Amino acid sequence: MLSYRHAFHAGNHADVLKHYVLGLVLDYMNQKDKPYWYIDTHAGAGLYRLTEGYATQNAEFENGIAKLIAAANLLKPLADFVAQINRFNTSNLEYYPGSPLVAQDLIRANDKMRLFELHPSDYKLLIENFKGQSKQVKIDMQDGFTGIKACLPPPTRRAVVLIDPPYEDKQDYQHVVRMLKDSLSRFATGTFIVWYPILQRPEPSEMIEDLLRLNLPNWLHINMTIHEPSAEGFGMHGSGLFIINPPWTLPKILEETIPALTQLLALDDAAHYALNYEIA
């Protein structure tokens, strides 16, 4: 199924949580001189225009990144994230970077990127957005669930892998679990970040339960709900990240900043967050 286009949702609350945490992980990786790989299994188009096209239909960014940019007195990690998004804009909020460009903005000259995108239209846009950077970035029109096998372990033995499928196919939840089992057998020390939506259906929570059954020594689970589930039972009312081998510094930063982020993005009194982790 190739109907999903992330441009409809660019800059929404889920993007804010995902890209904020991704930036924290990459900042930590940058503290060591040794190079690393950034691998994105479902990269999307890379950059989204918020003033025309798909993004304007529901304008989800207005309840996401726009709220952060308009906020005053943000805690420094959140202010740093806003500063990064502003680097893609001249004055008004016109563009929102997807995970590939969030990562590209943070990695160093000796780090590498491997990006996978199967949708033909988004693949063409992704190629265009990375034109002239072929030495550092390799882009494949391929399903990242299978393409990642050729990347692990990376030559540097350091990597951050973002796993962010559209989940329009319910089988994606089990694809994530199977891919991680295989990936950890190839590269047990890598940092793997799984994004997922919070919906009124069992598959997301079942996936998290399956991941916890892997008996991982180091993991972190953060999720954020921004409003009460709809009476009709449809739609995403929050999102979460499950991270294998997270930076040891990450729990403290999230404990200090996620309460403020949740309050800022809340649409009603049902908004809340949960943070759990085990780090050996």
CB 217 within 8 A of CB 185: no
Residues acting as catalytic residues: 164
Per-residue tokens: 234? 């449809």
